Structure 1
Amino acid sequence: MGSRRDYYRDPDAPEPNSLKPGASALVVDGSGRVLMQRRGDSGNWSLPGGIMEVGETLSECAIRETREETGLDIEIAGLLGIYTDPEHVIAYEDGEVRQEFAVVYYGRVTGGQITVSHESTSVKFLSLGELESLPVHPTVRLRLQHHTGFRGTPYLG
């Protein structure tokens, strides 16, 4: 897997040359902890998710990526928000510079067991308090804040 660098509200960020729809799942356990994975490429804790493939819906993408990255099977339980901030770009070593395009669904575990994938170094349910002191990208923190303050209306940004 190639390395990546996230730029967020950085005037020195490279110009985006790519836009790909992606989906993530925010999955909460019975204790209110959020399913997170520690990314192998950046070391940051993040929600499971990835890029939509031809032939699948965006919600199917969130389900597939969660299974691939965490070992857990989920069903879609709602929509946290749509995140398309042009000030968040991700540069890859192959020259692709992608503008953020992520839809974050709420997911509910239906089966499976936690397994670490080749994309991550750890997968676990973490409390919001635990996450405060861990490396988490600002855009993921924003999603966690929206989850904490969720009032039934998805974030549209």
Structure 2
Amino acid sequence: MATPDFIRTLRADAGHQLLWLPGVTAIVFDDAGRVLLGRRADNGKWSVIGGIPDPGEQPAACAVREVFEETAVRCVAERVVLVEALEQVTYPNADVCQFMDITIRCRAVGGEPRVNDDESLEVAWFPLDGLPDLHETGLFRIKQAMAEGPTWFDRG
């Protein structure tokens, strides 16, 4: 994911120290029950769609924006399915971040999936029984988005 300008500004003062940042993940389903995934340009792996909200941007608006920016698919946010603090990440340049992720279930309402920015190598719909190799966090988010239960959060 491209680093937003506001984070570059923070890094100018904070250096490489830990930044606690918001993150939004969008689990997008189409009318056939398929899920939208992107193959990331930074590591070549398939992933759910997500990004960092702009300052003042609401999580649902961020989810809709990120999906369109990365895939050209238009969607509507339906509900929050998961809130979770993720593990710290140290990037190759030594920057350290930890994200508070809000995962939102979304429904596609238009557009055909295509690579729409420089963050993805491929984007596509996948049936739930034919998912590519995904990180366990992505699989968990998809599972939670399929469930009709309440929002999941770590009670620890």
Q: TM-score, normalised by structure 1?
A: 0.79
RMSD: 1.9
CA-to-aligned-CA distance 1:61-102 (integer Å, 9 cap, x gap): 1111111111111111111111213xx232223322222321
Equivalent positions of 1:1-157 (< 5 A) are 17-85=18-86, 88-116=87-115, 117-131=117-131, 134-148=132-146, 150-157=147-154
Q: How many residues align?
A: 139
Q: CA deviation at 1:111?
A: 2.4
8 Å CA contact 1:20, 1:52 repeated in 2:
no
Q: CA deviation at 1:153?
A: 0.7
Query: For the residues of structure 2 that align with 1:145 and 1:55, how far apart are their CA atoms?
Result: 29
8 Å CA contact 2:104, 2:145 repeated in 1:
no
Q: Secondary structure at the match of 2:88?
A: strand
Which residue of structure 2 aligns with residue 7 of structure 1? none
CA-to-aligned-CA distance 1:100-127 (integer Å, 9 cap, x gap): 3211111112223212021111111112
Q: Given residue 137 of structure 1, which amino acid in structure 2 is its aligned partner?
A: H
Q: Secondary structure at the match of 1:83?
A: strand
Q: TM-score, normalised by structure 2?
A: 0.80
CA-to-aligned-CA distance 1:17-70 (integer Å, 9 cap, x gap): 121101111111122111111111122211111001113111111111111111
Identity over aligned residues, as a percent? 31
8 Å CA contact 1:38, 1:46 repeated in 2:
yes
Gaps of 5+ in 2: 4-16
Once the two structures are overlaid, the 10-residue window that deviates more, 26-35 or 107-116, is 107-116
Query: For the residues of structure 1 that align with 2:90 and 2:133, how far apart are their CA atoms?
Result: 19
Q: Secondary structure at the match of 1:54?
A: coil
